[in-house]
């Protein structure tokens, strides 16, 4: 039995996957019949590069996709094309009707994908602005606290100088008093 499945590649904790046609008994990363695409789950949204025509051919020939690959084929429109192709073969719809239905579906799907990408980018920008505003607020509080601390230190230094001056004045007055007493 032939399966459409993922073969792992890439480095440790950063996997990339090849979408391959392989015998069911072959090892996961081992021998395969044909490579029909790639899948990168680390991008947002995930990047799926797939040869839709080859995938459709294999699905129509009876290859069974794994659950993950089935979701990817559905996302790319291969399964709806299979459904429409079977309808054409049975005579339920014409080739033109099938093409028109697929184009309508494709337009809706592209609009959804575009809207999601725009939403993610605007949310990302809003989150970035919020982080910057919070960071600026924290910086302002730190600057204010530092300014208060410096003012308090300056006042304390002035107070010590004033006390030192008063003590110095008192000593000077006492010395002048003594000098006057000794002279008299």
C-alpha to C-alpha distance for 122 and 116, rounded to whole angstroms = 10
What are the pLDDT digits (tens) for 94-151? 999 999 999 999 999 999 989 988 998 899 889 999 999 999 999 999 999 998 888 8
Read off the pLDDT of residues 28-67 as tens digits, 9 standing for 90 and up: 888 899 999 999 999 888 899 999 999 999 999 999 999 9
The torsion angles phi and psi of 45, rounded to 5 degrees, stand at: -70, 165
Count, in order, helices (H) and strands (E) of the chain: 4, 5
pLDDT of res. 161: 73
Predicted TM-score (pTM) of the model is 0.65
pLDDT band at 164 (very low <50, low <70, confident <90, very high): low
Name the band, by pLDDT with cuts 50, 70 and 90, for residue 74. very high
Half-sphere exposure of residue 72: CA atoms within 13 angstroms, side-chain side: 29
pLDDT for the residue 121 = 87
- Look at 17 and 175; give whichever has higher pLDDT: 17
Residue 168 is predicted with a pLDDT of: 57
Query: What single DSSP character describes residue 63?
Result: P
E strands present in the chain? 2-11, 14-23, 34-40, 47-50, 64-65
């Amino acid at each position: 039995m032939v399966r459409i499945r993922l073969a792992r590649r890439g480095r440790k904790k950063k996997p990339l996957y090849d979408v391959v046609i392989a015998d069911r008994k072959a090892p996961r990363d081992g021998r395969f019949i044909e490579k029909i695409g790639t899948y990168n789950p680390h991008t947002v949204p995930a990047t799926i590069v797939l040869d839709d025509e080859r995938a459709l051919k294999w699905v129509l020939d009876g290859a069974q996709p794994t659950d993950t690959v089935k979701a990817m084929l559905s996302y790319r429109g291969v399964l709806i094309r299979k459904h429409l192709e079977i309808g054409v073969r049975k005579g339920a719809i014409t080739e033109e009707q099938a093409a028109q239905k697929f184009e309508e579906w494709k337009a809706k799907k592209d609009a959804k994908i575009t809207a999601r990408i725009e939403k993610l980018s605007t949310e990302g920008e809003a989150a970035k602005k919020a982080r910057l505003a919070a960071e600026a607020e924290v910086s302002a509080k730190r600057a204010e606290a530092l300014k208060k601390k410096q003012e308090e230190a300056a006042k304390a230094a002035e107070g010590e100088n004033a006390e030192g001056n008063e003590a110095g004045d008192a000593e000077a007055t006492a010395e002048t008093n003594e000098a006057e007493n000794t002279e008299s």
